[in-house]
Structure 1
Amino acid sequence: MKASFWNTFTAAPHRLFFFSGAIQLILPMLAWSVELTGRYTSLWSPVEAVIPTTWAHGFIMIYAIFIFFIFGFLMTVFPRWMNTQAIKKDHYTATFIWLNVGLYTFEFSLFYSLNYAFIGVIVFLFGWFHGIVVLYQSFKSSNAPNKRYETVVLSALLCGWLGLASYAWWIYSDNWRFLELSLNIGLWLYLLPLLFTVSHRMLPFFSSNIIENYKIYQPARTLWIFLAASAAHFVLAYLHQQSWLFIADIPLAAVALLHSIRWQLRRSFKDRLLAVLHMAFFWIFIGMTLFSIQSLILLFSGEYIINKAPLHAITIGFFTSLLVAMASRVTMGHSGRMLHLNTLSWALFLGLQLAAIMRIFADLQFDNEQLSHSLNLVAVALWLISLSTWFIKYAPMYLSRRVDDQNG
């Protein structure tokens, strides 16, 4: 029976990776809610950890959650994109095991041992690199004439690996410059470029299957402009030139808005499963507009007044919303189910949008600390309710056979 379960669980890359990613959406945020409640109320004391909890939270949100969904998705679609052989089971299961061993070692060690936390990150780093190698082998074996998207994705994953290595070096050396470098790499050279590239590749394709008389819009130049602007934001942030970030952020917002218009955001609402992808993507425009406003205010007044609102518009609004939207679609399609987003799934996605809005408002209440704290706790609660519901609905699909009895 155990062998049968394992065979089912490992029948396709997305099954095991998405399952681990779904757990990471819940348990670390549950711990974070305990920490925030301890900070903001008198119910209990804040959580004690071997590294500051804010930076453990940042690491998990950037590096621990998304990589499982990214590897699960890419190890499924890479061979299809490039018309090559499927990735072997022992290759993707090895990546899965190394990542989990490393991550759980890090997470549990946060409460008792800095040395073991460091070892956990090193093992996680090895698992990440193993995954890159697996994808690169698929990339190298393909004779596809155009591998633009795959090249960008692999480059972003490698940048993510370097950011992860920087975090490990911060733990080892206690040099805060490497922590800052790690977080900036994770946002601007890894997640934003990678998820924009996946959107550029997939959203027009999905839209063309739903929207009548749809014209595919995938110009290479907008992809390169976006990637260059994201890299420019990284450089400016690394040099602490926050007042000049608008030079990169206005083009990022403009490119995102252009694509939302050309990809027909409004018409996407005829199908909920398509609409959630477009809604998630639109958050890039919102987030980068907020970053631009903050940069210009800082330039002309010297005031830093909207705090982390732009950051959470990108991380919750775009990153997490796109993750949920894409994972829902892949899960249903690869479990033999109809590609239909029911009312419950639609409601939990809207709950996640509300969580993003509440977290943004929490940062905007700079003159009312109590209200800011309350909104932050509401945002965490909405995250947990929405994504716990998502887990209950979708996680069992990774553990059971396809409903159409097909392989995978």
Structure 2
Amino acid sequence: MFSNWYKKFSSQPHQPFFTSGIIFFILFMTLFLFSYLGFLNLDKSILSYHAYSMIFVIFIQFFLGFLFVVFPKFLSQAEIKVDNYMKLFHLYLFSSLGIFLSLIFYSQVTIIFQVLMFIAQILSFKLLYSIHKKSIVANKDDTKWVLISFFSGLISHALFIISNFDFNYSHDLARFSINAGFYLFLFGIIFTISQRMIPFFTKAKVFTYIVNKSKNLVLIVFSLLALKVILLSFQNASINLLADVPLFIIFVRELIKWKLPLFKVPAIMWVLYLGLYWIPFAFLLSILESVFYLVNTSFIFEKAVIHSLALGYFLTVLIGFGTRVILGHSGSTPHASSFAIVIFVLVQIVAFLRLFASFSINTNLDYIFFLNLSALLLICGLIIWSIKYLTILLKGK
């Protein structure tokens, strides 16, 4: 019985990787919540148990599940063999579990599992690169930029592991690696996939839609993100304008050019559009933060910019893509039922609540209460989504 289930469960790359991603998303968010509620006393900084886990453990597993499906299709290559991606899945699973448990019980050995996670990501990069290299298709730009973003992630991950050793600039190195991992690794991969797949899905739904993307869009965006990561290292909010203003202008201009038919597509599509609209909103917030800094106000933005992108963009697109892929590859027609729409709306509520928590630090309101509330609602939303869609993943095809 088990062998029959395992064969179905492992038959498509997204099934094991989405399953691991959603389970560890819930577990690490619970770890975060319990830490802030005082139920757990973690001796690691928030960079280690929250930022690191989101960037290098959780989101990447979701998008690897997607990449292992679409990379061969993009490049007209044979599907990845089950044994190849399942070996990686087992290494990701073991590393993720090791990081999670060691943070709770014995954080001195967390670095061992981080190194194992790093090795898993090197092997994942190697697998994707081998597919890219073998392909003879004329246009390999999108897969090239996925690989460049992934390689940036390997460098930032290595820097974070090095920062575990106590030396004069270890905290600065950790912060730099998190910024690079967030913008160049995660944002780079997710945006490259988004600008390829969202217009493609739109064209499939609205036959009259014309894809109108700017030339060298990903190159320009990635270059400006690299500049932003460098500027963030100076911890001077005002100079962030050098990257944020052009990024804001580019994304506003691009979304206007795309003319996404928001009211002509079903909910399974408009949720992806909503994710894209969060991008210029986040960079607008970053611009305002710099302006407030320049005029010497005491107003604090906390992590509003990061969470606008992480919850508003990354999570919205993840839920949108995830729901579509799970339904499509299980034999069902990709659509958003009333259940899915409720989850989409809940994600937006959680994103805005987390922003409210960031800004509440400037008032007499209880910042920690709203922080915990947003985390609790996110966990509930992930569990509710899992009740339906994790069941489909576990059944396999």
**With structure 1 as the length reference, what TM-score do the two structures score?**
0.93
User: Contact 1:21–1:65 (CA<8 Å) still a contact in 2?
Assistant: yes
Q: Which residue of 1 aligns with 2:4?
A: 4
Instruction: Render the CA deviation track for 1:76-127: whole Å, top value 9, x for unaligned.
Output: 0000001111111111111111111112111101123233211010111111
In the alignment, residue 347 of structure 2 is paired with which amino acid?
L
Q: Which residue of 2 aligns with 1:211?
A: 206
Task: Tell me, yes or no, if structure 1 residue 86 matches structure 2 residue 75.
Answer: no
Q: Secondary structure at the match of 2:42?
A: coil
Q: Secondary structure at the match of 1:110?
A: helix
Question: How many Å separate the matches in 2 of 1:125 and 1:332?
Answer: 31
Task: Tell me, yes or no, if structure 1 residue 322 matches structure 2 residue 294.
Answer: no
Unaligned 5+ segments in structure 2 are none
Where does 1:304-383 land on structure 2 (aligned, <5 Å)? 305-383=300-378
Task: Tell me, yes or no, if structure 1 residue 113 matches structure 2 residue 111.
Answer: no
Q: Percentage identity across aligned positions?
A: 26
Task: Tell me, yes or no, if structure 1 residue 25 matches structure 2 residue 25.
Answer: yes
Question: How many Å separate the matches in 2 of 1:313 and 1:334?
Answer: 30
Aligned to 1:251, which of 238, 241, 246? 246
Measured after TM superposition, the shift of residue 203 of structure 1 is 0.9
Task: Tell me, yes or no, if structure 1 residue 73 matches structure 2 residue 75.
Answer: no
Instruction: Render the CA deviation track for 1:353-388: whole Å, top value 9, x for unaligned.
Output: 100101101111233354322222221122112111
Where does 1:7-406 land on structure 2 (aligned, <5 Å)? 7-38=7-38, 47-53=40-46, 55-173=48-166, 175-265=170-260, 267-268=262-263, 270-301=265-296, 303=298, 305-402=300-397
Question: How many Å separate the matches in 2 of 1:55 and 1:369?
Answer: 29
User: Contact 1:118–1:172 (CA<8 Å) still a contact in 2?
Assistant: no
Q: Which residue of 2 aligns with 1:42?
A: none
Instruction: Render the CA deviation track for 1:136-192: whole Å, top value 9, x for unaligned.
Output: 111111101111110110111111122111221122335212211221111121111
Instruction: Render the CA deviation track for 1:207-249: whole Å, top value 9, x for unaligned.
Output: 1122352111222332222111111101101233321111111
Q: Secondary structure at the match of 2:295?
A: helix
Question: How many Å separate the matches in 2 of 1:106 and 1:98?
Answer: 12
User: Contact 1:328–1:394 (CA<8 Å) still a contact in 2?
Assistant: yes
Q: Which moved more, 1:107-116 or 1:382-391?
A: 107-116
In the alignment, residue 30 of structure 2 is paired with which amino acid?
L
In the alignment, residue 138 of structure 1 is paired with which amino acid?
I
Distance change >3 Å, CA 373–CA 50, structure 1 → 2: closer
In the alignment, residue 65 of structure 1 is paired with which amino acid?
I
In the alignment, residue 55 of structure 2 is paired with which amino acid?
I
Measured after TM superposition, the shift of residue 21 of structure 1 is 0.5
Q: Secondary structure at the match of 1:172?
A: coil
In the alignment, residue 16 of structure 2 is paired with which amino acid?
L
Measured after TM superposition, the shift of residue 266 of structure 1 is 5.2
In the alignment, residue 5 of structure 1 is paired with which amino acid?
W
Q: Secondary structure at the match of 1:149?
A: helix
User: Contact 2:71–2:131 (CA<8 Å) still a contact in 1?
Assistant: yes
User: Contact 2:240–2:290 (CA<8 Å) still a contact in 1?
Assistant: yes
Distance change >3 Å, CA 277–CA 16, structure 1 → 2: same
User: Contact 2:262–2:273 (CA<8 Å) still a contact in 1?
Assistant: no
Question: How many Å separate the matches in 2 of 1:53 and 1:223?
Answer: 31
Q: Secondary structure at the match of 2:80?
A: coil
User: Contact 1:321–1:352 (CA<8 Å) still a contact in 2?
Assistant: yes
Measured after TM superposition, the shift of residue 270 of structure 1 is 3.3
**Which segments of structure 1 move beyond 6 Å, counting only runs of 4 or more?**
none
Question: How many Å separate the matches in 1 of 2:133 and 2:260?
Answer: 36
Distance change >3 Å, CA 53–CA 297, structure 1 → 2: closer
Distance change >3 Å, CA 366–CA 205, structure 1 → 2: same
Q: Secondary structure at the match of 1:337?
A: coil
Question: How many Å separate the matches in 1 of 2:230 and 2:141?
Answer: 24
Question: How many Å separate the matches in 1 of 2:388 and 2:283?
Answer: 32
Across the two proteins, how many residue pairs are aligned to each other?
A: 395
User: Contact 1:121–1:168 (CA<8 Å) still a contact in 2?
Assistant: yes
Q: Secondary structure at the match of 1:339?
A: coil
Alpha-carbon RMSD across the aligned residues, in angstroms, is 1.7
User: Contact 1:149–1:201 (CA<8 Å) still a contact in 2?
Assistant: yes
